[in-house]
């Protein structure tokens, strides 16, 4: 077995080809890991079928140990939570990530041209994606949103440092048995279906995405999901029109307390300051948030809240602040 250094611990079985390297098998003991972009001077261009499936027997091929220091004892991907795929990758084989049940976050580029069947099957917790975009992000997003009907959180990184973050709300496809007619009736539940299918010719438009907002609010939806969707579009306002911006802020103004509690749970003091500046508050509402921040030991957020409390209601306030 060849041994090389890397940024994570991997046990690999590979096949060298003229155009690059195919990883036939990859096992790690790390919870957060990045597959190498190159091996032995060749780009990693493909993942084989069942390449990361826990418990699968390793196929025949060239064995490589990638090390970055002390390693754990379990090398079966069952603990893998955060995975970065190589930017050089062009193909992902059948069931490559099958049964990676702890996987929550996937980082990858939109340059993967081929996805074989069942790649994400039984990745039950996978809902967060960081995409490097080169102009083909619509194809990748269409694939991911089509495969995973749950709520998805996608951060899109474009050239020149431009960033967008979009939420795709959950929907559920339900088959109900219609016994008298000996058939199954198909139903779609949840307001997220239009978002998961907002791609025209596999292209993604942020403006088309924003136009779904009014219809989404008109259906039964989860308020906390709507809050996150609105907030991230405002936080990263790439291609955001004034009309869409006002619609998102209108929702946050109507749900200011819930938004503030969410930002407190994230310890996002800067975001909390922005929210407070764009929403109306009573003395009692700010006092409740201050108590919540104290209970969470969120010192920076508490300072923001006390400052806002003093600005809005200066009379009768103590001259000293208790942090």
End-to-end CA distance of the chain: 57
Contact by Cβ (8 Å): 113, 63:
no
Contact by Cβ (8 Å): 137, 131:
yes
Alpha-helical regions (H) of the chain: 137-147, 193-196, 206-210, 213-217, 223-235, 242-254, 256-265, 269-278, 283-295, 299-312
Q: Which two tokens stand for residue 179?
A: 């016994």
CB atoms within 10 A of CB 51: 27
- The predicted-structure confidence for 58-109, as pLDDT tens digits, reads as follows 899 999 999 987 777 789 899 999 999 999 999 999 999 999 999 999 999 9
Res 125: pLDDT: 97
CB atoms within 10 A of CB 277: 9
Task: Categorize the per-residue pLDDT at 177 as very low, low, confident or very high, splitting at 50, 70 and 90.
Answer: low
Residue 319 confidence (pLDDT) above 60: no
Round the average pLDDT of the chain to a whole number and report it. 93
Q: Enter the DSSP assignment of 45.
A: E
Q: What is the dihedral of CA 201, 203, 209, 212, to 10 degrees?
A: 0
Res 122: pLDDT: 96
Res 188: pLDDT: 72
CATH 3.80.10 maps onto the chain at: 1-122
3: enclosing H helix or E strand: strand 2-5
The proportion of the chain whose per-residue pLDDT surpasses 90, expressed as a percent, equals 86
- The predicted-structure confidence for 181-232, as pLDDT tens digits, reads as follows 556 665 677 899 999 999 999 999 999 999 999 999 999 899 999 999 999 9
Task: Categorize the per-residue pLDDT at 33 as very low, low, confident or very high, splitting at 50, 70 and 90.
Answer: very high
Distances (CA, A) of 265 to 261, 293, 295: 6, 9, 11
Give the integer Cα–Cα distance in Å for 204 and 17: 34
Give the integer Cα–Cα distance in Å for 265 and 278: 19
Q: Which two tokens stand for residue 86?
A: 């190589």
* Backbone CA torsion sign across 22, 109, 31, 122: negative
Residue 174 confidence (pLDDT) above 90: no
- What's this model's pTM, rounded to 2 decimal places? 0.91
Task: Categorize the per-residue pLDDT at 259 as very low, low, confident or very high, splitting at 50, 70 and 90.
Answer: very high
Res 133: pLDDT: 97
Task: Categorize the per-residue pLDDT at 178 as very low, low, confident or very high, splitting at 50, 70 and 90.
Answer: low
Task: Categorize the per-residue pLDDT at 263 as very low, low, confident or very high, splitting at 50, 70 and 90.
Answer: very high
43: enclosing H helix or E strand: strand 42-47
Domain 1-122 listed as CATH 3.40.720: no
Q: At what angle do helices 256-265 and 223-235 cross, to 10 degrees?
A: 70
Q: Is 322 exposed, middle or buried (0-12, 13-18, 19+ CB in 10 A)?
A: exposed
What is the average pLDDT across 153-166?
97
Backbone φ and ψ for 234, nearest 5 degrees, come out as -75, -35
Residue-wise burial string across 79-102, b where 16 or more C-beta atoms lie within 10 A, e elsewhere: bbebbbbbbbbbebbbbbbbbbeb
Residue 295 confidence (pLDDT) above 80: yes
Q: What is the dihedral of CA 209, 215, 217, 219, to 10 degrees?
A: -130
Res 190: pLDDT: 83
């Amino acid at each position: 077995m060849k041994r090389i250094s890397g940024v994570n611990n991997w046990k690999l079985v590979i096949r060298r080809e003229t155009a690059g390297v195919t990883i036939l098998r990859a096992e790690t003991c790390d919870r957060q890991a990045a597959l190498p972009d190159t091996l032995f001077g060749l780009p990693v261009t493909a993942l084989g079928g069942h390449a990361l499936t826990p418990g699968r027997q390793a196929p025949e091929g060239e064995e490589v140990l990638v090390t970055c220091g002390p390693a754990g004892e379990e090398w079966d991907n069952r603990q893998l939570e955060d995975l970065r795929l190589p930017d050089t990758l062009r193909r992902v084989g059948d069931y490559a990530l099958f049964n990676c049940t702890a996987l929550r976050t996937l980082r990858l580029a939109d340059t993967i041209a081929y996805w074989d069947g069942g790649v994400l099957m039984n990745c039950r917790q996978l809902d967060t994606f960081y995409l490097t975009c080169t102009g083909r992000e619509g194809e990748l997003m269409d694939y991911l949103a089509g495969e995973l009907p749950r709520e998805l959180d996608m951060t899109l990184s474009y050239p020149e440092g431009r960033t967008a973050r979009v939420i795709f709300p959950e929907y559920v496809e339900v088959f109900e048995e219609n016994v008298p007619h000996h058939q199954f009736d198909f139903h779609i539940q949840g307001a997220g279906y239009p978002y998961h299918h907002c791609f025209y010719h596999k292209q993604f438009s942020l403006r088309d995405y924003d136009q779904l907002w009014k219809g989404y609010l008109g259906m039964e939806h989860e308020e906390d999901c709507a809050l996150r969707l609105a907030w991230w579009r405002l936080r990263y306002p790439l291609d955001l029109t004034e009309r869409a911006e006002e619609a998102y802020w209108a929702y946050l103004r109507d749900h200011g307390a819930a938004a503030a509690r969410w930002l407190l749970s994230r310890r996002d003091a800067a975001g909390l300051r922005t929210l407070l500046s764009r929403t109306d508050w009573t003395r009692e509402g700010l006092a409740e948030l201050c108590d919540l921040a104290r209970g969470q030991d969120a010192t920076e957020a508490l300072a923001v809240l006390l400052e806002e409390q003093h600005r809005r209601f200066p009379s009768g306030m103590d001259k000293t602040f208790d942090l």
